Amino acid sequence: MPRPPSTTAVIAAVGVHLPARVVDVRAAERELAARNPGAVPKVPMVSRLTGVRQVHVLPDSWDASDLAVAAAEKLLAAEGIAAADVDLLLFASASQDMVEPATSHIVAAKLGVRAPVMDVKNACNSVLNAIEVAEALIGAGRYATVLVACGEAPSRGVRQDVPDRATYLLSAPGYTMSDAGAAVLVRRATPDEAGARDAQGRPAPRGILASAFGADSQHWDVGMLPGGGTAHPRDPERTYFEIDGSRLRDAFLALGPDVVLEALERAGVTWDDVALVAVHQVAVAYLDDVRVALCLPPGRTLVTVADHGNVASATLPLQVRTALDSGLVGPGDLVVLVGLAGGISIGAMVVRL
């Protein structure tokens, strides 16, 4: 299968910020049951069924933008890049500081970035879609250096006052959600990177080789945070997550492997070439089912959800950063990013680090 001759954009760096405060999910469930007798099971069920042990919670004085800024500052400092070097800032997250203005303005102001900004929002695929947008704009010649900043604070939408069992069931998936910041630097590929070859002289360009995306939007109502928009502008009861976990899982599994396999084909690679598959994770218990449904290879994934919870669209950067820090992957390795998001949508991107 031929490899692509060149690339347009490179994922040059990835940064992550995890809040220091960690909450034990099982202990939190016991406290929830004590506060809501009869509505919440006394025996912790969420941690047992999902395999999620703990989650991160942002400081009370922080917003989603602060998480994004913390991750971006780490990335910029590590790479020796000044705020003035950023041509475009994309805030990519399911969370946001407020409805208006775009949270990207707030992030840019806190970072000192004086470049165009915009928000890219598609639930847990926000970061992956933002990288797609960055690559396209770099390819069009509009920008050379794009900073994707993510601040996920789903803990603010998790319900602690549970009046009945039906409400608990809709709220339960939220107890595995976790806060995190992430940043991804996407820049124009140099001629050497675009035309790189491997030790055997075969084309092996560095950067984003290919991607593919899909959606099955008839399932948009299986996972919602409905408050704050025109549908429920001022209803405090709709400011919490409402997720039908079983329907959401079934919808994800029904997506099938076509999008992932299309990305591999476009990149001209096979699973034998891939060092890491970073896949969105909502529960340890679902990972094997997701792997089989999407035809992902065994032994190439990194489990982060057990110790860090479901950090929404920060999941893929977290897995890449963890793999880099542990030495699991390094320069020249192929990574496949697989995103799954409420709505529902799926995305796959093949990247050579």
pLDDT in tens, the chain (353 residues): 444 446 899 999 999 999 999 999 999 999 999 999 989 999 899 999 999 999 999 999 999 999 999 999 999 999 999 999 999 999 999 999 999 999 999 999 999 999 999 999 999 999 999 999 999 999 999 999 999 999 999 999 999 999 999 999 999 989 999 999 999 999 999 998 888 888 788 888 999 999 999 999 999 999 889 999 999 999 988 998 888 888 888 888 889 999 999 999 999 999 999 999 999 999 998 898 999 999 999 899 999 999 999 999 999 999 999 999 999 999 999 999 999 999 999 999 999 99
pLDDT number for residue 1: 44
Q: Cα 117 from chain centroid?
A: 19
Looking at CATH, the fold of the domain delimited by 195-352 is given as Peroxisomal Thiolase; Chain A, domain 1 (3.40.47)
Same fold: 12-188 with 195-352: yes
pLDDT number for residue 204: 85
Q: Domain segments of the chain: what residues?
A: 12-188, 195-352
Task: Given the residues 124, 129, 150, 308, select the one marked as catalytic.
Answer: 124
pLDDT number for residue 197: 86
Please state, in angstroms and rounded to a whole number, the distance separating the CA atoms of residues 176 and 178. Answer: 6
Question: 338 in helix, strand or coil?
Answer: strand
- CA dihedral (193, 320, 145, 140) positive or negative: positive
Alpha helices in the chain, H assignment, sequence order? 25-35, 46-50, 64-79, 103-111, 126-139, 165-171, 191-194, 245-254, 258-267, 287-293, 305-308, 315-326
CATH class of 12-188: alpha beta
pLDDT number for residue 3: 46
pLDDT number for residue 6: 67
Mark whether 129 is an active-site residue. Answer: no
Task: Given the residues 17, 105, 280, 308, select the one marked as catalytic.
Answer: 280
Q: What are phi and psi of 148, to 5 degrees?
A: -95, 120
Q: pTM for this one? A: 0.95
Mark whether 310 is an active-site residue. Answer: yes
End-to-end Cα, the chain, rounded Å: 20
Helix (H), strand (E) at residue 209 = strand 207-215
